[in-house]
Amino acid sequence: MTDTVGIVIVSHSKDIAKGTADMVRQMVGSEVKVAFCGGNPDGGLGTSVSLIIDAINDAWSAKGVAILVDLGGAETNSEMAVEMLEPARRDLVVVCNAPIVEGAVMAATEAAGGSSLAQVKAVAEELSAD
């Protein structure tokens, strides 16, 4: 399945990332590629750039990938991961400014309808409006 935007969930906690991914899959089944990661390189709470890069590649779609994050370090490390992708992929990955659980579910639901990356990001970010 490469004609829907992929979703990546990045939390400091692998349990939160996995739980969020489970909720997304409940909504969209296998229509949308979903990958998740959580934990620092030692497995403690935190995030890992190399795990984020792996997750982006796992969820890769020609339509792009939307990343949902929890707290600051997840966002900073996700932005770093995007910059470390091969140049052709960088412009097709966005980090959404949205709450992680609601944002991931909304983004995936939008993606399942075949929406563009910009539309998926916009729908997730409506949750952060006002």
Partner 1 sequence: MSLQPETFKSLVKVAAEQVIASAPELTTLDQAIGDGDHGTNMKRGFEAVLGKLDAISAQPLDEALKMIGKTLVMTVGGASGPLYGSFFLAAGEALSHDKHLPDDLADVFGSGVNAVSARGRSQAGEKTMLDVLVPVLETLKMAAGQPDLIAQVRTTAAAAVERTAPMQATKGRASFLGPRSVGHIDPGARSSCVLVQAVCASLEGRQ
Residues with catalytic function? 12
Taken as a whole, the chain contains a residue count of 130
Cα angle 35, 37, 40 (rounded to 5 degrees) comes to 165
Residue number with CB closer to partner 1 (22 or 83): 83
How far apart CA 68 and CA 27 sit, in angstroms, is 16
How far apart CA 73 and CA 113 sit, in angstroms, is 31
How far apart CA 16 and CA 5 sit, in angstroms, is 22
Report in angstroms how near the CB of residue 30 gets to partner 1 at its nearest.
31
Residue number with CB closer to partner 1 (32 or 51): 51
- Positions that interact with partner 1 (CB under 8 A): 40-42, 44-50, 71-73, 76-77, 79-80, 84
Report in angstroms how near the CB of residue 53 gets to partner 1 at its nearest.
9
Report in angstroms how near the CB of residue 41 gets to partner 1 at its nearest.
5
